Amino acid sequence: MIIMMLGAQGTGKGTVAGLISKETNWPQISTGDIFRKNISEKTELGIEADKYISKGNLVPDKITVPMVQNRLKQEDAQEGAILDGFPRTIAQAEKLDEILAEEGKKVDLVINLVTPREEIIDRMITRRVCTNSDCKTTYNTKMHPTKVEGICDICGAPVKQRADDSDPEAIRKRLEIYEEKTSPLVEYYKNKGVLRTEEISISINRMGKEVAEDILKDIKNK
């Protein structure tokens, strides 16, 4: 089963995807995590990707698409996978359809998360992530802080703010890019009959855990 997470940055895609991954054992394939790993290791891919990410721009398809295609071919993704951060444009979605069709697969479910913009900005500025690549637990200094400041509750590794979460203006630019290039995917997958929209917001007291639990019930029924 191929699941795709859709929604602007900061809506909780990673949290929901992580909870589903834990219960199903399907890998959470995050293009952002792959890029950040390569950037920190200063690989050729990381250096090239950082030219775009540091400015709040999308990484070109010529870099992103082959990376995702190779990841989907790995053994742990054969029974199912959760795509987080890809596709981000209609062109990428069409290419993904081609890639999956070659393997006799398709996108089975698209989870579209929506959150008020100002809440997104505040959530991203206060977001902290475990630096252990095998953990990557996400925290928030306001809503879900670590028990010990700066230390992951799960594995004890340092918890830090991502570089691309520290600048409110860069965050606003990323949201503008999302609205321009990525939000049309909502209509694309709605027309395919696989879209499921969920609101995550403090204002309605509905967060990622509750959404993930509801989705897991439906996945098990299917």
Q: How far apart are CA 198 and CA 133, in angstroms?
A: 28
- Asked if 191 and 185 touch (Cβ cutoff 8 Å), the reply is no
Given 73, 162, 192, 209, which residue is catalytic?
Answer: 162
Q: Is 73 designated active site?
A: no
- Asked if 138 and 14 touch (Cβ cutoff 8 Å), the reply is yes
Q: How far is CA 105 from CA 4, 30, 108, in A?
A: 13, 19, 9
Q: Is 128 designated active site?
A: no
User: What amino acid occupies position 199?
Assistant: E
Q: Is 71 designated active site?
A: no
Q: Is 50 helix (H, G, I), strand (E, B) or coil?
A: helix
Question: What contacts 180, CB < 8 A, 6 or more positions away?
Answer: none
Predicted confidence pLDDT, tens digits, the chain (222 residues): 999 999 988 898 888 998 999 999 999 998 888 888 888 888 888 898 888 888 878 789 988 898 889 899 999 999 999 999 899 889 999 999 999 999 999 999 999 999 998 899 998 999 999 999 888 888 999 888 999 999 999 999 999 998 888 888 888 888 888 888 888 999 999 999 999 999 998 878 788 889 999 999 988 877
> What domains sit in the chain, N to C, each tagged with a CATH number?
2-115+168-221 (3.40.50.300)
Q: How far apart are CA 78 and CA 103, in angstroms?
A: 10
Q: How far apart are CA 184 and CA 196, in angstroms?
A: 15
